[in-house]
Amino acid sequence: MKRISHWIDGKLVEGTSGRSGVIWQPATGVQQASVDFASVEEVGHAIAVAKAAFPAWRATNLSRRAEVMFRMRELVDANRKEIAALLSAEHGKVLGDALGEVARGLENIEYACGIPNLMKGGFSEQASGGVDVYSIRQPLGVVAGITPFNFPAMVPMWMFANALACGNTFVLKPSEKDPSASMFIAELLKAAGLPDGCFNVVNGDKVAVDTILNHPDIQAISFVGSTPIAKYIYETGTRNGKRVQALGGAKNHMLVLPDADLDMAADAAVSAAYGSAGERCMAISVVLAMDSVADAFIAKVQDRIPGILVGPASEGGNEMGPLITGEHRDKVAGYIAGAEADGAMLVVDGRVGAPADGFFLMPSLIDHARPGMKCYDDEIFGPVLLVTRIKSYDEGLQLINDNQYGNGTAIFTRDGGVARQFQFDVQVGMVGINVPIPVPVSYYSFGGWKASLFGDQHMYGPDGINFFTRSKVVTSRWPDPRTSSVDLGFPQNR
């Protein structure tokens, strides 16, 4: 049985805690590997190694740090298929989806290649007589990433690319459900010329996370995962004086107005709800359909569902894979049962007809979902699309704004004025206009509002550079000795 350990100081390190977790093959339901769970001491060792590597990496010039990122860009590009295969094996997502994940992650490494430009400060000559003022950005030290199961390659890339390029050293705690992509990435970073100790991977569970949260040498934590854990990470990390960005869960609504192209909206809803088996934080999970078009829209979604090819990634052509674990599959199935019990209407029941092996569910479609039903109020994180019928644009907007989450949303309409008003009014961090999954490109930043993000900096892009650096402002004077005199007044320039 394959055993996954840790990556510390540029090499594989076997775990010694005696604790481990199971890595399933979601497509078959069979255990394929075990992963070592790090002890407090093992995480402490990784942090000490990263701390020791920091001074030299921080002092490495910007061109050289950019060069490592350029090489990493080439290596990830050359190994797209290998990374995607790891994602399919452990997460279960189909190959096309896995390749898409790698491509979106790679964008962040490309962005970090521009670090000499991104870290430029400002300069004001002659802020006062003979006085210049300038700002510089400096790395924080040892920073940590804690990542979820659903994007095992992309989310680490959101974090480490900018963090390392800024001159920090990094400790990654990937999801214990699918850590192999992170281990492979560590090898690629070494091959790209990153000095040993700058990037470390500790595998594990709450013990590893709590060690990171409480360790005095961790300066900042970048977290992506579910809302309860995000809140815990934010509260504990900030209480311990750390900088924290903690991205949480979602319930993304898509508003379909009567003037929308209904075929386009149905294609978008099906793709965004069932892609990656709904295990995306930007998946569409509720469609708000105006009464006048709801029946027609639902019929179009219903027509498309039988065409979705569900099965293992190993069989080419499949479009939707299994869920991550049997436990999660059963939880999602529980929401489908609960929806009916709460009075919603099950239009397509995804508990029927799934492949016998593995953790599969078929796509589900539920009509007449309302706030107050568990299927509506909770993040399901599975291939379940709800439809909520609304009487007006205002009612739809209100439902979105009342929702506890504010990660992503989309509006489908041909009316530019309404779309612009929606963008103005909606309390959500990422908005799509006729775009169902509006994940920002890497030179913008990714982040939700409300219970989808704890902290004030979004992930990657310009916010990522801000998050992984702190600024210093220098006021400098090179006086002419002939003009020097004692002056006890407060310095001023007027």
Task: Point out the residues that are catalytic.
Answer: 281
Nearer to ligand NAD, 220 or 224 (CB): 224
Nearer to ligand NAD, 39 or 150 (CB): 150
Tokens at 61, concatenated: 């010039």
CB of 152 to ligand NAD, least distance (A): 9
Q: Which residue's C-beta sits nearest to ligand NAD? A: 225
CB of 226 to ligand NAD, least distance (A): 3
Who contacts 117 (Cβ-Cβ below 8 Å, separation ≥6)?
none
Helix, strand or coil for residue 80? helix
CB of 356 to ligand NAD, least distance (A): 25
Between the alpha carbon of residue 406 and those of residues 42, 253, 258, 309, the distances in Å are 37, 9, 24, 31
Nearer to ligand NAD, 133 or 435 (CB): 435
Quote the distance between the C-alpha of residue 102 and its chain's center.
Answer: 13
DSSP letter string, 86-146? HHHHHT---HHHHHHHHHHHHHHHHHHTTHHHHT---EEEEEETTEEEEEEEEE-SEEEEE
Nearer to ligand NAD, 181 or 224 (CB): 224
Contact 101/87 with Cβ under 8 angstroms?
yes
Q: Is the dihedral of CA 175, 178, 179, 185 positive or negative?
A: negative
CB of 150 to ligand NAD, least distance (A): 5
HEC profile of 41-67:
HHHHHHHHHHHHHHHHHHHCCHHHHHH
Alpha-carbon span 104 to 163, nearest angstrom: 17
- Provide the binding-site residues for ligand NAD, judged by CB under 6 A: 146-151, 173, 175-176, 205-206, 209, 224-226, 229, 247-250, 281, 379, 381, 407, 448, 452
Nearer to ligand NAD, 355 or 448 (CB): 448
Helix, strand or coil for residue 209? helix
Residue type, 26: P
CB of 151 to ligand NAD, least distance (A): 6
Nearer to ligand NAD, 311 or 382 (CB): 382
Contact 454/234 with Cβ under 8 angstroms?
yes
CB of 405 to ligand NAD, least distance (A): 9
CB of 456 to ligand NAD, least distance (A): 15
Alpha-carbon span 5 to 18, nearest angstrom: 11
Who contacts 204 (Cβ-Cβ below 8 Å, separation ≥6)?
19, 36, 37, 38, 43, 173, 176
Look at residues 57, 45, 55 and name the one whose alpha carbon lies nearest to residue 9.
45
Nearer to ligand NAD, 66 or 320 (CB): 320
